[in-house]
Amino acid sequence: MPERTPETNVIDFRAAEHLLAAHDPRGAVKLLDSVIASHPESTAARLLRARAFFAAAQLRPAELEFELVLEREPDNAFAHFALARTFERSGRSDRAARHFRLAAALDPNPEYLKAARFRTES
């Protein structure tokens, strides 16, 4: 396999974004695997791969990636929200509620606020 260059990683990352938008999350994951192998510290690549795992209904890998992103960026409201959706989708609403509230506290995005209120009023 040829050596990866910074340009190759950028091209693969952008292509993975397009694949995810085109509803091909598995294709996106494949591209992102090599990007992350070259740059394991890339939070952006890990967040995109977590979204792709979620879209492919691979909930455990999505959960692990979102948690890794949050270890590195505990104030990432989107990652909290997406992790909450992952927990919700896997039937763990108690864990989801905490992350919905954290997302809403970090960012008053209307979608985050709605999810947090919905979870706290029940």
Per-residue pLDDT 10s for the chain (122 aa) are 567 788 999 999 999 999 999 999 999 999 999 999 999 999 999 999 999 999 999 999 999 999 999 999 999 999 999 999 999 999 999 999 999 999 999 999 999 999 998 544 44
**Do 2 and 50 have their domain in common?**
yes
- Do 54 and 79 sit in the same domain of this protein? no
Instruction: Report which secondary-structure segment, H or E, holds 12.
Output: helix 6-21
Rounded to whole angstroms, the Cα distance separating 65 from 76 reads 13
- pLDDT (0 to 100) of residue 1: 54
Instruction: Indicate the residue among 11, 33, 60 that finishes a domain.
Output: 60
Q: Which amino acid is at 30?
A: K
Do 7 and 51 reside in the same domain of the chain? yes
Last residue of a domain, one of 35, 60, 85: 60
pLDDT at 6: 84
pLDDT of residue 2: 63
Q: Give the structural domain span for 115.
A: 74-122
**pLDDT confidence of residue 35:** 96
Q: What pLDDT was estimated at residue 5? A: 87
| Torsion (CA) 5, 10, 13, 14 in degrees, nearest 10 | -140
pLDDT of residue 55: 98
| Residue reference for tokens 């590195």 | 72
Does the predicted model carry a pTM greater than 0.85? yes
How many independent structural domains does the chain possess?
Answer: 2
